[in-house]
Amino acid sequence: METVKSICPFCGVGCGVELYVESSTIIRLSPVKEHVVSRGHLCGKGTLAYEPIFAWDRLTYPLKKVKGEHIRISWEIAIKEIASKLKEIIQQYGSDAIAFYGGCQNTLEEDYLMQKLARAMGTNNIDSCARVCHDPSATALKEMVGIGASSVSVEMIPRMKVVVITGESITESHPVLSQYLTEAKKNGTKLIVIDPRVTGTAKFSDLHLRLRPGTDIALFNAVGNYLIENSLIDEKFIKERVIGFEEYAKGVSKYTLEYAEKVTGVRKENIKKFAELIAQKGVIFSWGLGLTQSSGVNGVRAYINLALLTGNIGKNGGLLVFRGQTNVQGSGDLLKPDKFPNGTMDEENAKKLAEIWNFLPPTKPGLSVTEALLRDNNIRAIIFMGFNPLISLPNREKVERKLKSLDLLVVIDAFMTETASLAHYVLPAAVWAEKEGSVTNLDRLAKWRFKAIDPPGEAKPDYEILKKLAEELGYNFSSDPKEIFEEMKKVVPLYSNLTLDEIMDYSSSSRYPNHEIYLYDEKFYTETNKAKLILVEQPEVKNGIILITVRNVTRYNTDVITGRIPGYGKYESLIYVSQEDALELKIRDNEEVLVTSECGKMNFRVMISKDVQKGTAIMYMHDPKVNYIICDELDEITKTPKYKYTEIKIMKLN
Ligand SMILES: Nc1nc2c(c(=O)[nH]1)N[C@H]1C(S)=C(S)[C@@H](COP(=O)(O)OP(=O)(O)OC[C@H]3O[C@@H](n4cnc5c(=O)[nH]c(N)nc54)[C@H](O)[C@@H]3O)O[C@H]1N2
Ligand SMILES: Nc1nc2c(c(=O)[nH]1)N[C@H]1C(S)=C(S)[C@@H](COP(=O)(O)OP(=O)(O)OC[C@H]3O[C@@H](n4cnc5c(=O)[nH]c(N)nc54)[C@H](O)[C@@H]3O)O[C@H]1N2
Ligand code: SF4
Ligand SMILES: [Mo]
């Protein structure tokens, strides 16, 4: 029996796994004991991650839609026809009529190749799932401290006095990180959870601020004001290393504790407790989608301000973003419609890229995936690689209309997803264990996945598919992951120090020498080398019942993969409501109700839960019906959907 090392294909923790291979089949999977982040642990779905690879309905040959039916075609014909259609569309409408989206479950090398192909064809219409989760985090981090990623590694958690967890459900979404919280608790670390819901993490926290959804900015600004008024800020740190203090202090002075209590619903004694706990050294400010998918980039800015005010950055603490998918940090680093992989989208960087690429990329910013599918535009062709937007984007009806209106829709996936079923061409992809390449986890750790088995039938790794398509279009790209990795290193400053030897090493000392477990101890990586406080205002709060969509530990995103783990079954459509609202609306447990929002309506079965706050309702985002109800309100700056902030009505059916 052979063993092969890899990284779990699901969440951004990036746990190390060892695959046991016999007769070209993976017969089991176990955790890599020495992996520096997962330390020999896996969650339930991680342990079963190899099962869906062998599902009976894997796509094994290319398909073309003819008279409404998908029929088998050869790779040669598929690639020829797609390339010729792309050329035709570009000729008729220009390069910006085509777009390439996806890549969070792909490797860095595949993402790199995808953006290179798009740019070779003259467009910056490229984007990834990072848009719909943590682009607000990456954007705020970049402008305020310099790099759009976590500033601390998870290893720092147990060394802290306080860990603040805002809008993140670790026990469901990043379960293997719970070990760090348990260790921290043993060391006496205080855990503060900020979430409208009673989450698994909230249950063992020391302080749970159960705020109303969408009110984080009011809370953080009031805490900022309280810290300033009570001289609880780190004046030396601010003076030497931070800009924007005067304006910030003036702006937050109106955010009193009384105001914050009224808006957030959190008692002011608890807000004070929160402020006092973070006014010491040794604090990590961590967060998840509760912040980005409700308050957007301003929510993240308001939160980072607190780390800067208290000087909790560097060896004292820092900022930890619980990024979502296995390679979402990497996809966010590489696939942006308004940034080149080597930095700002300008002539100078374009010329630098041309020296390596032998073609000059365009400098006109492209469209994000949310703009492409939810706003008016001239896009006529989209290639999705590992993305199921018909289910995962908000306002499903609108997305469906756009997808159906395209002249060319190509989906590269391992399964016939709902999005693929609409496609003109479906190309069968190899999945993680059937290919090799690197992925970057939520604390900036890149690791190489080794190939364990061959893909089924005619399925191919995305890097081979992209190479074939590029070749047909007249570009000579490498499809060797190691060669692509070396080219990527030359282009992407963030990855320039990595070596293949280091990222292939799974031993316990495998944080490479230049991987600091905390950044910014001496300087920030902004232009001035100083961090920036940014004043933001709490917007008006929505009334009515707010629908929040969240994760369940056993399911993964649109459930394409986890739905194929034997015994897991399909997801049931449920709405969780509070006891108070159920009483007021006269609805009973298990009763079917009609849920309506501004953009859709749908029936759901009710579950009454004491963990749900009055005035909110919860649905699991894995349910394919959910995004009929969630509308397409987007963060103004990053265009990230407000998946956790939709006003709904719940009606009895009889
Ligand atoms: N099991 C499992 N794990 C996953 C995934 C999965 O599908 N399944 N998906 C992965 C992906 S892609 C991502 S991005 C991550 C996401 O991981 P998380 O960030 O944990 O995502 P959610 O569970 O969607 O939402 C987090 C929390 O935000 C809270 N929240 C909602 N509104 C607000 C608000 O206004 N303020 C505050 N403070 N909190 C609020 C919710 O109650 C919820 O507990 O998980 C990754 N891990
Ligand atoms: N209502 C609501 N909606 C949400 C969210 C929410 O909180 N609430 N969260 C949003 C977030 S954070 C995210 S990240 C998105 C996730 O949305 P998606 O990324 O669309 O969801 P996935 O189910 O992860 O789909 C990934 C696809 O990639 C395919 N795949 C896996 N491996 C490979 C590979 O190696 N190559 C190729 N070509 N394909 C592969 C899988 O079969 C699957 O179909 O959902 C978003 N939607
Ligand atoms: S915690 Fe995330 S990376 Fe680790 S085994 Fe579970 S799903 Fe996989
Ligand atoms: Mo995500």
Ramachandran quadrant class, 3 (left: phi over 0; alpha: psi -120 to 50; beta: rest): beta
CA-nearest residue, atom 2 of ligand 3: 11
State the pLDDT at residue 443.
87
Distance between CA atoms of residues 645 and 256, nearest Å: 24
pLDDT of residue 512: 75
**In the chain, pLDDT over 70 holds for what percent of residues?**
100
| Residue type at position 640 | T
Q: What b/e sequence results for 193-216 when a residue is b if at least 16 CB atoms lie within 10 Å of its CB, and e otherwise?
A: bbbbbbbbbbeebebbbbbbbbbb
User: Do 332 and 115 meet the contact criterion of CB atoms below 8 Å apart?
Assistant: no
pLDDT in tens, 52-69: 999 999 999 999 999 999
Spatial separation of the C-alpha atoms in residues 597 and 545, rounded to whole Å: 10
404-410 long-range Cβ contacts below 8 angstroms, 24+ apart: 406/379, 406/380, 406/381, 406/382, 407/85, 407/89, 407/380, 407/381, 408/82, 408/85, 408/86, 408/89, 408/98, 408/380, 408/381, 408/382, 409/381, 409/382, 409/384, 410/82, 410/381, 410/382, 410/383, 410/384
d(C-alpha 79, C-alpha 471), whole Å: 9
Tell me, what amino acid is at 292? T
Amino acid identity at 164: V
* Contact indicator for 392, 556 with CB cutoff of 8 Å: no
Which residue in the block uniquely carries the two structure tokens 């909110």?
616
pLDDT at residue 449, as a whole number: 97
User: Looking at ligand 2, which residue's alpha carbon is closest to its atom 47?
Assistant: 392
Interatomic CA distance for residues 74 and 559, integer angstroms: 29
The pLDDT assigned to 654 comes to 76
**Residue from 392, 399, 599, 625 whose mutation best tests the ligand 2 pocket (most atoms within 8 A of CB):** 392
- Mode of pairing for the β-strands spanning 646-652 and 592-596: antiparallel
Ligand 4 centre distance from Cα of residue 605 (Å):
26
Report, as an integer, the average pLDDT of 404-410: 98
DSSP E strand boundaries for 323-380: 339-340, 343-344
SS3 call for 216: helix
Strand order through the sheet with 207-209: 207-209, 190-194, 162-166, 283-287, 317-321
Ligand nearest to the CA of 49: 3
Find the 386 Cα to ligand 2 centroid distance in Å. Answer: 7
Pocket flag, ligand 3, residue 42 (CB < 6 Å): yes
Ligand 3 atom nearest residue 17's Cα: 5
The residue to which tokens 């609108």 are assigned: 398
| Best residue for ligand 2 mutational test, from 291, 331, 558 (most atoms within 8 Å of Cβ) | 558
**What does the alpha-carbon distance between residue 450 and residue 166 come to, in Å, rounded to a whole number?**
35
pLDDT tens per residue, range 428-465: 999 999 999 999 999 889 999 999 999 999 999 999 99
Q: How far is the CA of 167 from the centre of ligand 1 (A)?
A: 7
Distance 42 CA to ligand 3 centre (A): 6
The terminus-to-terminus CA distance of the chain in angstroms comes to 61
For residue 114, give the nearest of 342, 366, 336 by alpha carbon: 336
Q: Is the CB of 194 under 6 A from ligand 1?
A: yes
Neighbours of 230 (CB within 10 A): 12
Output the CA 516–ligand 1 centroid distance in Å.
Answer: 27
User: How confident is residue 571, by pLDDT bands cut at 50, 70 and 90?
Assistant: confident
Task: Find the 175 Cα to ligand 3 centroid distance in Å.
Answer: 7
Q: Distance, CA 137 to ligand 1 centroid (Å)?
A: 14
Residue 265 is given by DSSP the state -
* Per-residue confidence (pLDDT) for residue 350, from 0 to 100: 98
> Domains in the chain, ordered, with CATH?
2-54 (2.20.25.90), 63-129+337-446+454-496 (3.40.50.740), 135-322+522-530 (3.40.228.10), 545-652 (2.40.40.20)
DSSP, res 78: H
288 lines ligand 1 (CB under 6 A): yes
Among residues 304, 346, 301, which one has the least CA distance to residue 164?
Answer: 304
278/310 Cα distance (integer angstroms): 7
CB 160 within 8 A of CB 189: yes
Sign for the CA dihedral angle at 578, 583, 589, 591 comes to negative
Q: Which ligand is nearest to the CA of 194?
A: 1
- The pLDDT confidence band at residue 501, using thresholds 50, 70 and 90, is very high
Whether the per-residue pLDDT at 328 is higher than 90: the answer is no
- pLDDT of amino acid 115: 98
**C-beta 557 within 6 A of ligand 1:** yes
pLDDT score for 572: 81
81 vs 85: CA distance, rounded Å: 6
pLDDT of 516 higher than 90: no
For 585-613, letters b (16+ CB in 10 Å) and e give: bebeeebebebebebbebebebbbbeebb
Reduced to 3 states, what is the DSSP secondary structure of residue 530? Answer: coil
* CA 293 – ligand 1 centroid, Å: 9
Ligand 1 pocket, residue 322 CB under 6 Å: yes
Locate 64 and state its tokens.
């073309």
Other CB atoms within 10 A of residue 647 CB: 15
In 3-state terms, what secondary structure has residue 490?
helix
R_g of the chain computed on alpha carbons: 24
Q: Ligand 2 centroid vs 520 CA: distance in angstroms?
A: 32
Contact indicator for 329, 135 with CB cutoff of 8 Å? no
Residue 572: burial class (beta carbons within 10 Å; 0-12, 13-18, 19+):
exposed
- Report whether residue 564 contacts ligand 3, using a CB cutoff of 6 Å: no
Q: Indicate the average pLDDT of the chain.
A: 96
| CB of 234 sitting under 6 A from ligand 1 | no
Is the predicted pLDDT of residue 281 greater than 90, yes or no?
yes
CA 443, CA 437: separation in Å to the nearest integer?
18
Which residue type sits at 509?
Answer: S
**Which atom, in ligand 3's list, is nearest to the CA of 11?**
2
Please tell me the predicted confidence (pLDDT) of residue 569: 75
Helices (H) and strands (E) in the chain, counts: 24, 27
Q: Six-digit token pair at 266?
A: 């959190």
In whole angstroms, give the CA distance from residue 190 to residue 188. Answer: 6
| 506 neighbors 30 (Cβ within 8 angstroms) | no
DSSP sequence for 575-611: EEE-HHHHHHHT--TT-EEEEE-SS-EEEEEEEE-TT
SS3 label, residue 9:
coil
Does pLDDT of 375 surpass 80? yes
Single-letter residue type at 633: E
Cα 128 to averaged position of ligand 4 atoms, centre (Å): 10
- Whose atoms come closest to the Cα of 32: which ligand? 3
Q: Is the pLDDT of residue 335 over 90?
A: yes
- State in Å: Cα 372 to ligand 2 middle: 17
In angstroms, the CA 273 to CA 279 distance is 10
Alpha helices in 178-320, H assignment, sequence order: 178-186, 200-203, 216-229, 235-241, 245-252, 257-264, 268-278, 289-292, 296-309
CA dist 118 and 115 (Å) reads: 5
Segment 579-605 shows an average pLDDT of 96
Tokens standing for residue 103? 């890549």
What is the pLDDT at residue 606?
97
Pocket lining for ligand 2, CB < 6 angstroms: 104-106, 129, 132-133, 289, 293, 324-325, 385-389, 392, 412-415, 417, 429, 431-432, 462, 549, 557-558, 560-561, 621, 626-627, 630, 643
Q: Do residues 605 and 596 touch, judged by C-beta distance below 8 A?
A: no
Query: pLDDT tens digits, residue range 89-131?
Result: 999 999 999 999 998 999 999 999 999 999 999 999 999 999 9
For 461-479, what is the HEC assignment? CHHHHHHHHHHHCCCCCCC
pTM metric for this prediction: 0.97
> DSSP label at 165?
E
Q: Which residue's alpha carbon is nearest to atom 4 within ligand 3?
A: 15
Query: Burial, 65: exposed, middle or buried (Cβ in 10 Å; 0-12, 13-18, 19+)?
Result: middle
Angle formed by the axes of helices 216-229 and 257-264, to 10°? Answer: 160
Residue scoring higher pLDDT (333 or 245): 245
